[in-house]
Structure 1
């Protein structure tokens, strides 16, 4: 049991950390906030908002990974909520079915917590035998305990054009909900191309995980949103196998994978009451966000409705250039 002394020391360490973080962040380059209430700060070549950078640095100090943990990694707006739903429903399928799953009354980000924001929630989940933890942190920012423990990492990425459009829309909707001035599409596009975006540059984020997945193929599963969208059953079976809970022949005959996919589909999740009217991180100031803001379209190729051919070509050229020698293609 934790003694009064232990908690006192912990509080002292926390205060020291807060103090040194404040000093450190005041020295960092600031970037355009995309109309959000919090600035973006550049730290070790990536851009973060202050609460997320603080959370990532704290996790580096405090997070103790177990070999059984499964880390869901992604840059923002690349299919994070979908991946969380599918993996959570798959891992908990013997405890819940599609009429009792927590996904019916809690949004995906509340069922699988973010490492940067909610260690305590994860400890409770791990206690229940749910080893899933999510992060938007670039690979180079992962706590050493994650790398050293040999736990499994699942990474999802997406065509940069759709990623950008989705990021622009969530920022615009969030800015409106916070009564701040939304950013114009052209301005956001230039920033994204320059790498000044939440957890960006996007290409560096993807490449960090891609290279790591080539070095440790047994510990990594590298997914593309478009391929998962194309054949979700195939990829869900691969996910289940990778996580160590493959679907039995009987489950496959009963259509269990298909039921999970249907339950976790964009159409189903976005129409649940919790995702239409609920609030994520309620009472946490700038971090509070309406659940519905996370659910927009989930469509592949929706960028065609927003980007000019010139913009699309520009993004494709940057992508080609950035990934040229990696063996990875994102278009």
Structure 2
């Protein structure tokens, strides 16, 4: 087997960012309040977005933990990072990755997925305080992010951390994200027409947008560092999940043994993590995986279909998105189905 070096530099120079992995006070701590006050904001429904100094939009309430993650996270060689834009199959990818790396610990019938939401089993980066201690002694540490590639902590690039990025057709991602915001548990639900949401989307004003910058960042990284970053598409998961699951396992250097394949383990994992299976589990019905989150578990499971955007966007709106995608992705070699 050829060993692929996965300790790599970032694709861009992160000027002004320091690692603070030696402990002690962050020298920029006192400046954070002033920084936050100066950053641009955008109101979406009752959701306040703030423009991170790296140039991407994020929920204002998550800015502090994201900055802390960037500055302080000490990545290990056994890290596995799952990256997505919101509403691009994050829940599905978490379930699949958890099942792949834990298959020697839990049988499919005894999987924690039967009793826990995937977001409980695979935390986001802003939930990582204390998580490393809970994973001590394991052969891996799996967590997730919506952050752009170039904004990840420097330690992720200097370690052998593996990154799996799941991309979805931006048209479907936009519609799914709009529905997600519509179903959040607001005390007073504001109006949020899809046309207004689209205007913001095309300006890059969405959670962790602009979408074209994030997608291209991970796409380019996967081409330059194929041993570090695996780029997969939601549409391919829908079309042939079995093959993609095997690709993920191979990339993580946890390939399925011949005996496992013969016993149908790949198919069992695919079935366990399918939309139909997860959405019908009691644990993923009304109730919340996080008391501070404004969304019930069942809101993470809407349709999961490819091409559903056509039911919500008129030809003019779809053409606006298509034109922007052609402009941003035209020479990248990146194409989308649906």
Question: Do both share a fold (TM > 0.5)?
Answer: yes
Asked if 2 retains the 8 angstrom alpha-carbon contact of 1:125 and 1:131, the reply is yes
Range with bigger deviation, 45-54 or 83-92: 45-54
Does the C-alpha gap of structure 1 residues 159 and 88 become closer, same or farther in structure 2, counting only changes over 3 Å?
same
Q: Residues 225-244 of structure 1, C-alpha deviation per residue, up to 9 Å, x if partnerless?
A: 10121111111011111111
> Match of 2:83?
73
Indicate the SS of the match to 2:76: coil
Q: 1:254-290: per-residue Cα shift (whole Å, max 9, x none)?
A: 11001001000111111111110231221x3xx3431
1:26-41 alignment runs, 5 A limit: 26-33=37-44, 35-41=45-51
Are residues 1:93 and 2:99 paired? no
1:292 and 2:298 aligned: yes
Q: CA deviation at 1:14?
A: 7.8
Q: CA deviation at 1:59?
A: 0.8
**RMSD (CA atoms):** 2.0
2:147 maps to which residue?
137
Within 1, Cα distance between the matches of 2:191 and 2:201? 15
Query: Following TM superposition, where does structure 1 have runs of at least 4 consecutive aligned residues deviating by more than 6 angstroms?
Result: none
- SS of aligned partner of 1:156: strand
2:139, 2:287 → 1: CA distance? 26
**In the alignment, structure 1 residue 255 sits paired with structure 2 residue 272:** no
Q: How does 1:1-331 map onto structure 2 within 5 Å?
A: 13=25, 17=29, 19-33=30-44, 35-174=45-184, 176-282=185-291, 284=292, 287-331=293-337
Cα distance, 1:319–1:123 mapped onto 2, change above 3 Å: farther
Measured in 1, the distance between the counterparts of 2:68 and 2:75 equals 14
Q: Helix, strand or coil for the counterpart of 1:99?
A: helix
1:172 positional shift: 0.8
Aligned residue for 1:317, secondary structure, equals helix
More helix by share: 1
Q: Is the contact made by 2:83 and 2:166 (CA closer than 8 Å) also made in structure 1?
A: yes
1:151-180, CA deviations, whole angstroms, 9 ceiling, x for partnerless residues? 111101110100000000001101x44433
Partner of 2:5: none
Task: Give 5+ residue unaligned stretches, structure 1.
Answer: 1-8
Paired with 2:191 and 2:156, the residues of 1 have a C-alpha distance of 37
Are the aligned partners of 2:49 and 2:207 in contact in 1 as well (CA < 8 Å)? no
Structure 1 residue matching 2:108: 3-state secondary structure: coil
Q: Report deviation, 1:213.
A: 1.2
